[in-house]
Amino acid sequence: MFGMGYGVSAVVKHAVQLMGLNAPAPVSRPVPPGTEYASVRELGEQMARPGGLTSVELVSYLQQRIRTLDPALSAVIELNPQALDIARELDCERANGRVRGPLHGIPVLLKDNIETADTQQTSAGAFALVGAPAAQDAFIVERLRQQGAVILGKTNLTELAGFRGGPDGMSRRGGQTRNPHDADAPVGGSSSGSAVAVAAGLAPLAVGTETNGSIVVPAAFNGVVGLKPSVGVLSRSGIIPASHRQDTPGPMARTVFDSALLLNALSGSDPHDAATTQAPTGIDYTALLTPGALQGKRIGYPATFSADGESLPVDNSPQFAQTLEVLRTQGAQLVPVNIRLADASRYDELLLADVKDELNGYLAKRDGLPVKSVSELIRFNEQRDGTDTDHQPVLKDVEASTLSAEERAPLWDALIQAFRGTVDELIDQQSLDALVSDFETNSYFAVAASGYPGISVPSGKDANGAPTSAYFFGARWSEPTLLAVAHGYEQAAKVPARPGL
């Protein structure tokens, strides 16, 4: 699955593409050592000092770092040619006493399926979606701009968010994203570029999107924090869709606190996304991230899984045993639980049918692209890439879907309720604040299918030196508690996050 390479000629082409965009003026003075791995709070403190770091200096420094490192990583698919001008304006605002919030002047990368109303493409890594830029910003991009964030560029992804079919992290437009810890290690998908960029110090923050695992998996594989919120916490307006029942954007960062800051900036009720009207509003997701947050928390962990009346023991990794020990020493009450596995036999069938309807609807309304439907997208790829091999198997399965919206609705309702029950019954019966699992148990599937929140937090490294991750999850709208638990674990575990590059 991870065998497709990214040849030397493609690397050179990618480097030239990045170098040709928005070449910055030379940085007038060196930025402080370690700036590439500074937290958002640290960067804000540096900018607040008289004569301190400016947003222009930070953006210019990161642009140059991207040009230097990214040809080997293919994490960034495009730089924003307006980034320095935006940073300059924000520096002027700060100099005049106006600071919009914690993200004022902070660079943020966006996954290339999130629309921006500027000169950048929104292509999901597909040449078939390269054309006129989007007509308006996605709702979450509007929120970022209002908060004073600088859109640094777009990140690579598994093409069409994985719905073309192919290696994780591979898109025809962006090439093969590489893991900064080990170029031959899995990179995860589909928010591969967002995870790699944060891990490699190309930006302090990135935004990914997830239908099922596309934030938390690449975050885990690349040693960063990835938060998949409850469906409805964040708007999907202006994001290339897969399924409105499952899709959500989410923060990717190097710390839980920075993830919470980004969640604050992104969240808000959007009249164009009905799911957001059900979500809690006015929440400061950093409020509970305090010392001692784990004290007395009841946290469930899977001791067994059960399906069809049969119970099977969970084979947890040595890293997960260490995770449990850290939680225990911080005062958490650990509760072994049996996780019932819901019937997912029709999940793929339902999801692909959703993708067909929603992607067709999106393409029909998006002006200035070479294709207007999934069938045209398939033909475009065949004409461009040939037909000698089947290079778009999932996209063909999408086009072959026949379940109507009316047929899907009751099946989806039953499936989602079944998956929610697997989480809710544990929390209710055991009075749990949250659950934690070894990432290798794939608990994220049930959580994503439920539309519930989950967060990957680095937990160490395995015997091969690859990052490992703990996965915390909980009930719908439980983000404040979930972030507090994850933050408490992170602060106690003190896992070094920087890759060797």
Domain boundaries, the chain: 8-278
Q: Judge whether residue 268 has pLDDT over 70.
A: yes
pLDDT classification of 5: cutoffs 50, 70, 90: very low
Range 228-241 average pLDDT = 98
pLDDT at 132: 98
pLDDT at 316: 84
pLDDT classification of 28: cutoffs 50, 70, 90: low
pLDDT at 19: 42
Query: In terms of C-beta density within 10 A (0-12 exposed, 13-18 middle, 19 or more buried), how is residue 19 classed?
Result: middle
pLDDT digits (tens, 9 = 90+) for 176-192: 999 999 999 999 999 99
pLDDT at 18: 59
Residue pointed to by tokens 């929120």: 143
The answer to whether 368 and 131 have CB atoms below 8 angstroms apart is yes
Element (H, E) at 70: helix 55-73
Q: Percent of the chain, pLDDT > 70?
A: 94
Which residues are catalytically annotated?
Answer: 111, 190, 214
Q: Judge whether residue 265 has pLDDT over 50.
A: yes
pLDDT digits (tens, 9 = 90+) for 461-489: 999 999 999 999 999 999 999 999 999 99
> In terms of Cα–Cα distance, which of 4, 8, 11 is closest to 169?
4
| CB count in 10 Å sphere of residue 250 | 29
State whether CATH 3.90.1300.10 applies to domain 8-278: yes
SS3 (DSSP) at 271: coil
pLDDT digits (tens, 9 = 90+) for 433-463: 999 999 878 889 999 999 999 999 999 999 9
The answer to whether 183 and 199 have CB atoms below 8 angstroms apart is no
Q: What is the DSSP string of 90-119?
A: HHHHHHTT---STTTT-EEEEETTB--SSS
pLDDT classification of 116: cutoffs 50, 70, 90: very high
Q: Judge whether residue 20 has pLDDT over 70.
A: no
pLDDT digits (tens, 9 = 90+) for 144-171: 999 999 999 999 999 999 999 999 999 9
> In terms of Cα–Cα distance, which of 72, 263, 259, 111 is closest to 190?
111
How many Å apart are CA 67 and CA 16, to the nearest integer? 9
Q: Judge whether residue 6 has pLDDT over 60.
A: no
pLDDT at 26: 43
| Mean predicted lDDT score pLDDT of the chain | 93
Q: Judge whether residue 80 has pLDDT over 70.
A: yes
pLDDT at 29: 84
Q: Percent of the chain, pLDDT > 90?
A: 88
pLDDT classification of 497: cutoffs 50, 70, 90: confident
Q: Judge whether residue 367 has pLDDT over 90.
A: yes
How many Å apart are CA 237 and CA 114, to the nearest integer? 9
Q: How far apart are the first and last CA of the chain?
A: 23
Q: Judge whether residue 4 has pLDDT over 50.
A: no
Q: Which two tokens stand for residue 272?
A: 């164009």
Structure letter (DSSP) for residue 342: P
Provide the whole-model pTM.
0.95
pLDDT at 496: 85
The answer to whether 145 and 245 have CB atoms below 8 angstroms apart is no
Residue pointed to by tokens 């997912």: 344
Alpha helices in 186-315 (DSSP H): 192-199, 216-222, 256-266
How many Å apart are CA 103 and CA 99, to the nearest integer? 9
What's the count of helices (H) and strands (E) in the chain, helices before strands?
15, 14
Query: In terms of C-beta density within 10 A (0-12 exposed, 13-18 middle, 19 or more buried), how is residue 252 classed?
Result: buried
Q: Provide the sign of the torsion angle of the four alpha carbons 84, 85, 90, 91, taken in this order.
A: positive
Alpha helices in 76-191 (DSSP H): 83-95, 139-146
pLDDT at 23: 45
